[in-house]
Homo-oligomer: A and B are copies of this chain.
Amino acid sequence: MSVANSQPRRTRSGSRRDEAARLAVLHAADDLLAEHGFGALTVEAIARRAGVAKQTIYRWWPSKVEILLDTLIEDSGKRLPIPTDKPTAEGIRGYMRAFARFVTRDPAGKVLLALIAEAQHDPATAKLLHERHLGPRREQERDMLARAIDAGAISPGLGADAIDALVGAIVYRALTGSSVPYRLVDALCDDLLGARTG
């Protein structure tokens, strides 16, 4: 071990991935979804809009769903962080409010809705969506809840499943084109979390 050894170097010659092309594709997909809906989201249209060859898309993404997934993960990580510090009822309520806003107002929220939808039509999408987004996020959300329960800040009748009920109620409103006012989110939290606070 150690020593000045040269490992069977993976030489990796050749051009590296073009970051500009990668971003152009992600943005084009996002924009097309926002502007013309999922129906207009064809690989051909994305390529056209991004000024990129179709082959470049197929080289890096197995399907257009994975493009959306990439934007979703990047955006939701940035714009909808899961609170990790104070396990209070207010903290959770704040997160749910942010989630409600995300899913109804943020373009990335539309991406989430589109992916949930597409998952109904295609099992492969369902698998991907769970593995790369829904699963990990649910994990963290349940953690958040569990810590709040431990701290005695809340005592939901559903236990950690309360998070699904909250998220589900909000997502369903979004899916059916209804608004999700704070009043409604707060009432949901009150009912489902058994919170001490008002």
Residues of B within 8 A of A194 (CB): 191
Overall SS of chain A's interface = helix
A119 at the interface (CB under 8 A from B): yes
Which 3 pairs between the two chains have the least Cβ-Cβ distance? A168-B172, A117-B120, A117-B117
Question: B121–A39 contact, CB under 8 A?
Answer: yes
- With A157-B187, A187-B158 given, is the CB distance from A37 to B192 under 8 Å? no
Selected contact of A191 from candidates B158, B164, B168, B175, CB within 8 Å: B158
Q: How many residues of chain A are within 8 Å of chain B by beta carbon?
A: 40
Query: In the complex the two chains form, what is the Cα distance from A183 to B133 in whole Å?
Result: 27
Q: A177-B130, A188-B165 are in contact. Are A118 and B117 (CB under 8 A)?
A: yes
Whether A123 lies near B37 (C-beta < 8 A) is yes
Q: What residues of chain B lie closer than 8 Å to A168, measured between beta carbons?
A: 168-173
Instruction: Give Cα A30–Cα B51 distance, bound, in whole angstroms.
Output: 35
Is A116 among interface residues, defined by CB-CB distance under 8 A? Answer: yes
- Could you tell me the distance in whole angstroms from the C-beta of A95 to the nearest C-beta in chain B? 17
Contacts of A156 in B (CB 8 A): 191
Report B-chain residues with C-beta under 8 Å of the C-beta of A157. 187, 190-191
